[in-house]
């Protein structure tokens, strides 16, 4: 059983990929203290969380829950080590993809994951870590990410107006804090 579990879902464009790369690069030195699950080890789970962020229906949430349970069930024994589970995609897709307006699915996803981890590892300290960024700066970064990686053709000003609320990470953090102790 892990000593502690840290669920890190980012937000996108807040240094999560850099954190993941740093953890991966330092895995040998961290191994006595930390077990980690990084995006390549969670492809099916990430697919399910993306699906739930898009459709927000009970079946895709159940799929994410089943895959999270499978991730935890597949863990080796790790006494006295901290388990870090990290990927910005655990909170769903980057808002602005298709009709996805915000991170509204993230509080439910994290609550379910927290509940499953608490049920499996009773008494273990479970922490949620969220990295954030200033709203305007984040929105511009998200916009350019969409321009680079998708067929987005929106003008920056239109994007900023349409997706303004998606950059209000404080609101989502508050929603998560209300659900996850």
Residue-level pLDDT at 181: 87
Sequential pLDDT tens for the chain (181 residues): 899 999 999 899 999 999 999 999 999 999 999 999 999 999 999 999 999 999 999 999 999 999 999 999 999 988 899 999 999 999 999 999 888 999 999 999 999 999 999 999 999 999 999 999 999 999 999 999 999 999 888 999 999 999 999 999 999 999 999 999 8
Domain boundaries of the chain, sorted by first residue: 4-132+169-179
- Both tokens of 29, joined, read 């030195």
Whether residue 94 contacts residue 13, with contact meaning beta carbons closer than 8 Å, is answered with yes
Residue-level pLDDT at 10: 87
35 DSSP β-pair partners: 83
- Both tokens of 33, joined, read 């203290």
Q: Which fold does the domain 4-132+169-179 belong to in CATH? A: Rossmann fold (3.40.50)
CA–CA dist 102, 165 (Å, integer): 7
Judged by phi (left if over 0) then psi (alpha if -120 to 50, else beta), residue 82 lies in beta
Q: Is 75 helix (H, G, I), strand (E, B) or coil?
A: coil
C-alpha R_g of the chain: 16
CA–CA dist 86, 146 (Å, integer): 22
pTM attached to this predicted model: 0.95
């Amino acid at each position: 059983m892990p000593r502690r579990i840290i669920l890190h879902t980012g937000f996108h464009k807040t240094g999560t990929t850099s954190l993941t790369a740093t953890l991966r690069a330092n895995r040998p030195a961290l191994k006595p203290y930390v077990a980690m699950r990084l995006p390549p080890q969670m492809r099916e789970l990430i697919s399910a969380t993306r699906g739930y962020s898009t459709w927000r229906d009970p079946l895709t949430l159940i799929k994410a829950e089943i895959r999270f349970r499978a991730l935890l069930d597949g863990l080796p024994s790790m006494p006295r080590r901290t388990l870090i589970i990290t990927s910005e995609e655990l909170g769903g897709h980057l808002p602005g993809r298709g009709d996805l307006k915000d991170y509204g699915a993230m509080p439910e996803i994290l609550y379910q994951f927290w509940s499953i981890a608490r049920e499996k590892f009773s008494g273990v300290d479970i922490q949620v870590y969220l990295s954030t960024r200033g709203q305007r700066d984040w929105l511009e970064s998200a916009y350019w990410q969409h321009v680079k990686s998708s067929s987005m053709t929106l003008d920056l000003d239109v994007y900023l107006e349409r997706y303004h609320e998606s950059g209000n990470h404080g609101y989502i953090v508050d929603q998560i804090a209300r659900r996850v102790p």
